[in-house]
């Protein structure tokens, strides 16, 4: 049981590490780009899925309207800002945790690219 738990924790740690490394690439493109892509992806996807479900459940024609697209894109903006904030706080926390041990050990100033977090 203990071995399984350790494997699970190691796998989860690796997944979080990859997520943070990917976030470093995404954040380099900028907040505006991230929010716009998230917003458009959410808006268009939601309108498409809604239209498909409506056509399956009833015999009506397509329900895609400009109002629906604008509505879901605006909701996507909120989702994009929330997603940015959430990932940025995780990223900053990981950077801080990677720097703090170096400061206390007296090894000098922390490395600005210190994203690799190791489990010791």
Identify the residue whose tokens are 């509505």: 71
> What rounded mean pLDDT belongs to the chain?
83
pLDDT value of residue 35: 96
This prediction's pTM: 0.71
Rounded-to-integer distance, Cα 97 and Cα 87, Å: 15
Of 40, 39, 21, nearest to 87 by C-alpha is: 21
pLDDT value of residue 72: 95
Residue ranges covered by each domain of the chain: 2-105
pLDDT value of residue 120: 47
32-74, pLDDT tens digit by residue?
999 999 999 999 999 999 888 888 887 667 778 899 999 999 9
């Amino acid at each position: 049981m203990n071995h399984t738990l350790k494997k699970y924790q190691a796998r989860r740690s690796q997944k979080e590490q990859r997520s943070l490394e990917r976030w470093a690439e995404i954040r380099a493109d900028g907040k505006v780009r991230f929010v716009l892509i998230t917003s458009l992806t959410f808006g268009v996807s939601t309108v498409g899925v809604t239209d498909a479900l409506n056509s399956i459940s009833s015999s009506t024609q397509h329900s895609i309207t400009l109002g629906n697209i604008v509505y879901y894109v605006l909701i996507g903006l909120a989702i994009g800002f929330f997603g940015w904030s959430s990932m940025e706080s995780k990223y900053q926390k990981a950077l801080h945790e990677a720097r703090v041990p170096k400061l206390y050990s007296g090894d000098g100033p922390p490395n600005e690219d210190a994203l690799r977090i190791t489990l010791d």
